[in-house]
Structure 1
Amino acid sequence: MSNVDVIRAHYAASDRGDLPGMLAPLGPKTTWTEAAGFPYAGTYTGPDEVAEHVFAAIGRDWDGYRFTLEDLLAAGETVIGVGTYTGTHRRTGRSFTARVAHLWRFDGGEVASFEQIVDSAPVVAATREQQ
């Protein structure tokens, strides 16, 4: 399976709501970085930390949170997913749309790291009560 196929399978699992399928490409040493300024900012290592600090938190805080993939690009040992996040914050009822890029870096056929690059402003705004 090519690197692009591995990441395409991750996004297909996301579309199905299949958390084990989403975590399948991550090894115990894979680092996952959520962008500074994003509600879940930080770097997490391995599928358990990613499940707890990213996906469980998103499931707790958002309704209809979704990543819509628009482009999947191969650049050597890096795969780039470009798309849009959408969702509605459960506490505030406010929705958002934000552009995002995911950088998946491979080493020896394994996912070494994930890095999120996102316009965090609309996401953070949705978490705040309207004045």
Structure 2
Amino acid sequence: MSNMDVITAHYEASDRGDLDGMLAPIGPDTTWTEAAGFPYAGTYTGPDEVRRNVFEAIARDWDGYQFTLSALLDAGDSIVGLGTYTGTNRKSGKAFTARVAHVWKFDGGKVASFEQIVDSAPVAAATD
């Protein structure tokens, strides 16, 4: 399976709401970095930390949270996903839309790291 196929499968799982499928390419040593300024900012290692600190937190805090992929770029050992986040904060009731890039890096055919680059301002404003 090519690097592009691995990440395509991740986003297809996301579209289905299949968290196990989304976490499938994340190995025990994979680092996952959520951007500074984002509510879940930090670097997490392995699928359990990513599940707990990112996806379970999002499910707890947001209604209708969604990532819509607009482009997937193949750069060999790096794959870049471009898209938009949307959702409504459960506490404030405020909705947001934010542009985002996901940078996936591979080493030896396995996901080594994920980095989120996002316009955090609209997300933060929705949590007020």
Short-chain TM bin:
over 0.9
Q: CA deviation at 1:7?
A: 0.4
Aligned to 1:36: 36
Aligned to 1:57: 57
Aligned to 2:116: 116
* Paired residue secondary structure (1:73): strand
Aligned to 1:95: 95
1:16 partnered with 2:53 = no
Give the distance between the partners of 1:23 and 1:122, measured in 2 at CA: 26
The CA RMSD measured in Å over matched residues stands at: 0.4
1:68 partnered with 2:68 = yes
The unaligned stretches of length 5 or more in structure 2 are none
Q: CA deviation at 1:127?
A: 0.3
TM-score where L is the length of structure 2: 0.99
Give the distance between the partners of 1:93 and 1:12, measured in 2 at CA: 28
Q: CA deviation at 1:54?
A: 0.1
**Amino acid in the other structure paired with 2:125:** A
Number of matched residues? Answer: 128
Q: CA deviation at 1:29?
A: 0.1
Give the distance between the partners of 2:126 and 2:3, measured in 1 at CA: 34
Aligned to 2:82: 82
Q: Is the 8 A contact 2:44 2:53 kept in 1?
A: yes
* Paired residue secondary structure (2:79): strand
* Paired residue secondary structure (2:10): helix
The unaligned stretches of length 5 or more in structure 1 are none
Q: CA deviation at 1:76?
A: 1.8
Give the distance between the partners of 1:118 and 1:93, measured in 2 at CA: 21
**Amino acid in the other structure paired with 2:80:** I
Q: Deviations over 1:35-56 (max 9, x none)?
A: 0000000000000000000000
After TM superposition, which residue ranges in structure 1, 4 or more long, deviate above 2 angstroms?
A: none
Q: Is the 8 A contact 2:3 2:76 kept in 1?
A: no
